[in-house]
Amino acid sequence: MLSHYPVSMRTLGSICLLLALVLIGGCVAASEPTADTAVSPGQTPAVAFTGLPRLAQIQSRLDDERVVYVGEYHMRLQDHRIQLEVIRYLAARDRPLAIGVEWFQQPFQWALDRYLAGAIDTRELLQASEYYDRWGYDFRFYAPILRFAKAHDIPVIALNVPEELTRAAAKKDLDELAPNLRKWVPEMLDRTDADYRRRLEEVYGAHPQHGSVDFKRFYTVQLLWDEGMAERAAQYLQAHPSTRMVILAGSGHLAYGSGIPNRVQRRTGIDGAILLPGWEGELRAGLADYLLLANAQELPEPGRLGIMLVDKEGHVIVDSFTDDSSAAAAGVKKNDVVLAINDQQVNSINDVRVALWDHPPGDVMHLRIQRSVRPGEDRPITFAITLR
């Protein structure tokens, strides 16, 4: 079970900040908080741990919100489980719901729609959306949310701008972009938020691995991400006036409201509520409406073939093996060409990731290889390999 401690941050100023620090530090003034509890915004630190309401009572405060933003650190399982809990709660309310997500890029909305309609399966969605090339995080973090949306006929909206746009904007001015990229540039790029710029300057300065990308272009790329996601969400909200939306994005895009939320508000007049599942930066008043603190959780280890692969001359080739490799034990050799896994054709390393994404240790995979890159030179060989 998750242990949640939502703390209202935007409305209480220093009192909320103190509550957050007490919770994070584990210093309890009265009784120890029980699992699945929450701090009420009306309480003071002196009574913060007495008679705590349940998480559902915090969620009920979202009933009148048209937009609810729920952040994430992409590789934290507990963040994604909190996101799903919020979606479950809002889906049960008597109002249509949509989910906007950062993890898919706008040109691939068609693939999401086909998946939700049952026209393609999960592996076909991963292939069609180029998920592992464009996002790449373990899909097991996100699959439960998509399965829930599909089971309950909830639209999922791809918010992110195409990476071709942000890559190009890191190298040249926007008015120099090709027409096929300019069409994805948001109509409004608001550069007036001084605090937003200052926080980006801090991020830029803390990560010197920017190569030839100076701060001006770094700042423009961040604006494209935030304005692009806000514009797409606003378009959906305006086209569906009776629908509410949960927006799932990295916490840095939501904190202090100055990434996506304020830009949605500028376009639609909708303020919304911000929920952050934890925060790794400095705690300041105004960070979010609720800061949710949950026990750390980990995905189970994935099943592994025990081989290192390289893309070479248009083929996926076995380069080396891990210690105690089940593939090596089965007879796979260095320089073997991978043709298919479980009858799924392999043309790239990402095809291997798609084939294996939901297989745990113990599953048996059928790996078809060829000992030469020249077709017809030798016969393909199929190995049954138990994942470790």
Cα separation of 16 and 354, whole Å? 44
pLDDT in tens, 171-182: 999 999 999 999
Tell whether 216 is covered by a domain.
Answer: yes
pLDDT in tens, 209-267: 666 788 999 999 999 999 999 999 999 999 999 999 999 999 999 999 999 999 999 99
- State the DSSP code for 300: P
- State the DSSP code for 289: S
* Contact (Cβ atoms closer than 8 angstroms) between residue 322 and residue 308: yes
Closest CA to 68 of 291, 275, 315, 336: 275
Cα separation of 112 and 157, whole Å? 8
Greater model confidence, 293 or 361: 361
pLDDT in tens, 107-149: 999 999 999 999 999 999 999 999 999 999 999 999 999 999 9
Predicted confidence (pLDDT) at residue 4 exceeds the cutoff of 90? no
Tell whether 249 is covered by a domain.
Answer: yes
Would you call 376 helix, strand, or coil by DSSP?
A: coil
- Judge if 224 and 365 occupy the same domain: no
- Judge if 285 and 311 occupy the same domain: no
The residue with tokens 């508000």 is 265
Neighbours of 181 (CB within 10 A): 19
Tell whether 300 is covered by a domain.
Answer: no
Cα separation of 154 and 91, whole Å? 8
The pTM of this model reads 0.85
Cα separation of 352 and 372, whole Å? 19
Contacts of 222 (CB under 8 A, 6+ apart): 200
- Judge if 283 and 332 occupy the same domain: no
Residue 282: which CATH number?
3.40.50.11550
Cα separation of 64 and 46, whole Å? 30
Tell whether 1 is covered by a domain.
Answer: no
- Judge if 65 and 109 occupy the same domain: yes
Predicted confidence (pLDDT) at residue 58 exceeds the cutoff of 70? yes
Distances (CA, A) of 60 to 35, 54, 90, 279: 18, 10, 9, 23
Tell whether 299 is covered by a domain.
Answer: no
Tell whether 221 is covered by a domain.
Answer: yes
For 90, the token pair is 């809002």
Closest CA to 215 of 236, 232, 201: 201
Predicted confidence (pLDDT) at residue 36 exceeds the cutoff of 90? no
- Judge if 242 and 265 occupy the same domain: yes
Tell whether 297 is covered by a domain.
Answer: no
- Judge if 262 and 364 occupy the same domain: no
For 221, the token pair is 């790329």
- Judge if 39 and 133 occupy the same domain: yes
- Judge if 61 and 173 occupy the same domain: yes
Predicted confidence (pLDDT) at residue 33 exceeds the cutoff of 80? no
Going by pLDDT thresholds of 50, 70 and 90, the confidence category of residue 192 is: very high
The highest-confidence range among 8-17, 285-294, 347-356, by mean pLDDT, is 347-356
- Number of structural domains, the chain? 2
Report the pLDDT value the prediction gives residue 122, as an integer from 0 to 100: 97
- Residue 339: HSE in the Cβ half-sphere, 13 Å Cα cutoff: 18
Q: Which of 292, 323, 355 is the last residue of a domain?
A: 292
Q: Which domain holds residue 319?
A: 307-386
Adjacent-strand bridge partners of 8? 290
Closest CA to 148 of 105, 63, 89, 236: 89
